[in-house]
């Protein structure tokens, strides 16, 4: 079952955030992640508007795949060309205010079976 990483990012330094994106993208892909939304146009349809907020949604094949990505040395900083190229400890975490959560997706086949059984 897919897992979805959802990030709400208040951009405080767009240049540094762009550097993070460049570094993090191949790491996300290595662990099976696929960007579904990445800071594109956003319209608030209910509630207050959020200035300078970017929303990022990344789909991973499973919660385990997400955890492998998130705990990976190259993402956390234990490996890589240099500490300043560490995605978590540099560009995103120090140049933006973040909320980061992960949610398990819905098993559509299982849901359909339950709905059918309930009738």
Residue 31: other Cβ atoms inside 10 A? 20
End-to-end CA distance of the chain: 25
Q: Is residue 78 a contact partner of residue 69, using CB atoms and an 8 Å limit?
A: no
pTM of the model: 0.75
Residue 72: other Cβ atoms inside 10 A? 16
Sheet strands side by side (includes 3-11): 34-38, 53-60, 3-11, 96-104
38-92 residue pLDDT tens? 988 888 888 887 667 888 999 999 999 999 998 888 887 655 444 455 555 554 4
Q: What's the chain's average pLDDT?
A: 77
Give the pLDDT of residue 97: 65
Q: H helices of 6-62, where?
A: 14-30
């Amino acid at each position: 079952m897919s897992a979805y990483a959802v990030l709400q990012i208040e951009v405080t330094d767009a240049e540094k955030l762009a550097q993070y994106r460049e570094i993090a993208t191949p790491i996300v892909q290595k662990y099976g992640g696929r960007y579904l939304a990445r800071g594109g146009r956003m319209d608030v349809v209910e509630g207050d508007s959020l200035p300078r907020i970017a929303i990022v949604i990344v789909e991973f094949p499973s919660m385990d795949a997400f955890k492998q990505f998130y705990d990976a040395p190259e993402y956390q900083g234990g490996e890589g060309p240099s500490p300043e190229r560490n995605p978590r400890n540099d560009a995103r975490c120090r140049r933006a205010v973040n909320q980061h959560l992960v949610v398990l997706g819905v098993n559509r086949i299982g849901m359909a079976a339950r709905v059918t059984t309930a009738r």
